[in-house]
Amino acid sequence: MSFVELLLQAALLGGLYTLVALGQSLMFGVMRLTNTAHGDFIILAAFGGIAGLMLFGTSGAATLAVGIALLPVAFAFGWGLQRYVLNGTLGKDPLPSLVVTFGLSIVIQNLLLELFSADPRSIETGGFNTQSVALGETLAVGALPLVILVLAVAATAGLQWLFASTALGRSFRAVSDDREIAELMGLHAGKVYALATGIAFVLVAVAGVLQAMRTTVSPADGPLLLLFAFEAVIIGGMGSFWGTLAGGMLLGLAQQIGFRLDPGWGIWFGHLVFLAVLVLRPQGLFPKTR
């Protein structure tokens, strides 16, 4: 494997980790809420896509239609979850939100086991997940991983634009900086939090569907995806979207280097980089600035 190919594969893997982590980064950046069920919600979205295709067929058009239909459902689910469940756990003590989301994680895993069994499943792509795009005479990349990378960069840029250049983004920043003052200025923090969570769950749905298109998923995969999301967010800097992208890329690079040295070392190398960042720069490489 050449150095260029190593960097390219790292970027493609990092794009997936970025999509997995962006929803977590958004929720923490706005609400300071650590969602320990984040990975399980991604798997829930993946199985939602699988269930939709079981009903409407496995054609390319059906896959696209089901994926698009999941987005408003995910937004409504996230909005309702935050508005009526998670808002009551917010405060200076992080324990209530940790306990509630941990409970949701257990419920989701067992619900999926009951409905779909423990068998791994995937979303049929009509061969798209095996297609490649030629980059020169000797180099080619997978079409689906390339789409995932483009979506990851676009989602990161979109979130950054939303926060920096829109009234909604200013509302997000206001309640994140000081909820009490923001409410005195007329904002309803609970509704702002619900909107942020709805957007985060749209990203969760995109990540879940693409994960199921890229590989197989099972009800027990959520905790591993949660770990990758945490590592990408913390490496990049909590609440920083470009930092999350950088963290995902660095995590992907570390894993690819590990895989190159030994097939069993890839995930371990990623954990080592995560621990090194925690020790040397606990605020992350690109922490959120006020």
H or E stretch covering 134: strand 132-134
pLDDT at 1: 53
Report yes or no: 13 and 256 within 8 Å, Cβ to Cβ.
Answer: yes
- Residue 104, in any domain of the structure: yes
- Residue 231, in any domain of the structure: no
- Residue 288, in any domain of the structure: no
pLDDT at 5: 84
Global pTM? 0.92
CA distance 210 to 219: 16
Furthest C-alpha separation in the chain: 62
- Residue 155, in any domain of the structure: yes
Helical packing angle, 167-177 and 143-165, nearest 10°: 80
Helical packing angle, 95-116 and 38-56, nearest 10°: 30
Residues 127-135: contacts with CB within 8 Å, 24+ apart? 128/60, 128/213, 129/213, 129/214, 135/8
pLDDT at 96: 85
- Residue 28, in any domain of the structure: yes
- Residue 273, in any domain of the structure: no
- Residue 248, in any domain of the structure: no
- Residue 242, in any domain of the structure: no
pLDDT at 289: 56
189: containing domain: 3-127+141-220
Mean pLDDT per 10-residue segment, the chain (290 residues)? 82 94 90 89 94 76 80 95 88 82 94 91 81 78 90 95 90 85 83 93 95 92 93 86 93 91 85 90 75
CA distance 46 to 54: 13
CA distance 261 to 266: 8
Contacts of 156 (CB under 8 A, 6+ apart): 18, 22, 241, 242, 244, 245
pLDDT at 290: 47
Report yes or no: 206 and 15 within 8 Å, Cβ to Cβ.
Answer: no
Q: Structural domain tally of the chain?
A: 1
